[in-house]
């Protein structure tokens, strides 16, 4: 299957190109490499009559491509989207709605042509990222007392109401976030300049260099600041404020493009709607541990039906590995040279780093062989 590169401004000019063995730097930033059937940028696969959109292939044969169980549960759509994400600059502070809110908000928006266009579809967007390189991220609220101390260290007197709100614990998180995101526009640049001048937070200094005068720079101090090693994962359930800052990873999510932004972006920000979807609670464990299923096969367990993600590592002496899932699967190579042997006819499909293959449900069991590493996306068992 052929993925689609999205050239957002925060993307890297080297990461995806290097993964795929192309010359660097690339002509434009390459932020995300999409593999899936999302209507925004569906992948292309080879059908009986030649190249075809995966979305079209599924629409024409949902039971064969998805399997009866997946089609009955999710309709005529692949319920997950797989990406390679390559951030060379910080992404926006953002959160995603839960399933009930997304359904209600999208219906209300579609019924009112004058309503703000915050939603692109009626689905939620829980997501997980597994680092391929060192990966830096802001993920979920930390203990409010820690956030209060970080803001107090800046020595800016007019932040006192925000600090006092945080000293109330989680009960004051919403008040603190609203105060920062609605800070008077004519004082934002001066406020962020003072925060940088205080010299107490390299995070503030770094974010302000990309987004001067953006109050999201201070909201960042309310979040966990994580640095992942390759192979570590973060899980972002609905309603958790987050921003990916730097690095390359494999991302999997429910197939939605619903994003509510709060800062660190030139794009549209709707503070009121963001506050409606945020969960004002401490996210105690944003780093998700891996679970070994078999030698060389790991997964990261998440409480959603739309997706599961597996990583398979094959060494020089590794025997072929049966893929640990059924139904519609996407196999993405990230290192070496592997191939998928389909049980129907045994024809191998080669997968090198940065390329992928789609395995329809009707194929049945499949195995991975060769030497290298691959990620497998599937619907949760």
Tokens of 281: 């609670």
**CA dist 85 → 7, 75, 200, 273, 312 (Å):** 11, 27, 30, 26, 19
Cis geometry, peptide bond prior to residue 142 (ω within 30 degrees of 0): no
What CA–CA distance (Å, rounded) separates 155 from 309?
Answer: 45
Contacts of 199 (CB under 8 A, 6+ apart): 205
* Burial state string for 71-100 with b = 16 or more CB within 10 A and e = fewer than 16: beebeebbbbbbbbbbbbbbbbbbbbbebe
Give the C-alpha separation, 66 to 359, whole Å.
Answer: 9
- C-alpha radius of gyration, the chain, whole number: 22
Instruction: Find out whether 92 and 267 touch, Cβ atoms under 8 Å.
Output: yes
Closest of 151, 143, 164 to residue 218, by C-alpha = 151
Q: Which of 215, 206, 200, 202 is nearest to 87 (CA)?
A: 206
* Pairing mode, strands 80-87 and 242-254: antiparallel
Which residues are CB-neighbours of 245 under 8 A, at least 6 positions away? 87, 90, 91, 136, 137, 138, 206
Q: Is residue 208 within 8 Å of residue 194, measured between CB atoms?
A: no
Per DSSP bridges, beta strands 308-314 and 287-288 are unpaired
Which residues have a Cβ under 8 Å from the Cβ of 360 and sit 6 or more positions away?
64, 65, 66, 328
Q: Which of 142, 261, 326, 329 is catalytic?
A: 261
DSSP string, 76-112: SS-SEEEEEEEESSPPPEEE---HHHHHHHHHHHHH-
Q: Which residues are documented as binding site for Zn(2+)? A: 94, 96, 127, 242
- Please give the Cα distance from 19 to 355 (Å, whole number): 9
Has 261 been annotated as catalytic?
A: yes
| Three-state DSSP class for residue 175 | helix
Task: Summarize the annotated binding site as residue ranges.
Answer: 94, 96, 127, 242
> Which residues are part of the catalytic machinery?
261
């Amino acid at each position: 299957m052929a993925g689609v590169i999205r050239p957002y401004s925060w993307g890297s000019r080297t990461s995806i190109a290097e993964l795929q063995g192309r010359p660097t730097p690339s002509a434009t930033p390459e932020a995300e490499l999409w593999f899936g059937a999302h209507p925004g940028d569906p992948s292309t696969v080879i059908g009986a009559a030649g190249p075809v959109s995966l979305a079209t292939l599924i629409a024409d044969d949902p039971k064969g491509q998805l399997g009866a169980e997946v089609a009955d549960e999710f309709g005529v759509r692949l319920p997950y989207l797989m990406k390679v994400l390559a951030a060379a600059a910080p992404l926006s502070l953002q959160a995603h709605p839960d399933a009930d809110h997304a359904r209600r908000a999208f219906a209300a928006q579609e019924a009112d042509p004058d309503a703000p266009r915050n939603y692109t579809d009626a689905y939620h967007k829980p997501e997980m990222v597994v680092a391929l390189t060192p990966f830096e991220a802001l993920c979920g609220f930390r203990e409010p007392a820690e956030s209060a101390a970080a803001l107090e260290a800046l020595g800016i007197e007019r932040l006192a109401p925000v600090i006092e709100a945080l000293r109330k614990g989680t009960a004051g998180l919403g008040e603190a976030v609203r105060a920062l995101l609605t800070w008077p526009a004519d004082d934002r640049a001066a406020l962020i300049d003072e925060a940088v001048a205080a010299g107490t937070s390299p995070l503030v200094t770094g974010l302000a260099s990309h987004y001067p005068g953006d109050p999201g720079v201070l909201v960042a101090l309310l979040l966990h600041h994580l640095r992942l090693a390759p192979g570590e994962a973060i899980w972002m359930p609905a309603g958790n404020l987050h921003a990916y800052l730097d690095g390359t990873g494999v991302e999997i999510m429910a197939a939605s493009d619903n994003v509510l932004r709060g800062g660190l972006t030139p794009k549209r920000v709707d503070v009121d709607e963001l506050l409606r979807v945020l969960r004002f609670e401490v996210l105690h464990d944003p780093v998700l541990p891996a679970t070994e299923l078999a030698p060389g096969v790991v997964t990261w367990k998440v409480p959603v039906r739309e997706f599961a993600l597996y990583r398979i590592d094959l060494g020089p002496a590794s025997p072929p590995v049966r893929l640990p899932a059924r139904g519609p699967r996407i196999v993405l190579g990230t290192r070496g040279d592997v191939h998928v042997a389909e049980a129907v006819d045994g024809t191998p499909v080669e997968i090198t780093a940065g390329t992928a293959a789609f395995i329809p449900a009707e194929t049945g069991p499949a195995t991975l062989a060769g030497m290298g590493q691959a990620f497998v996306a599937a619907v949760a068992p």
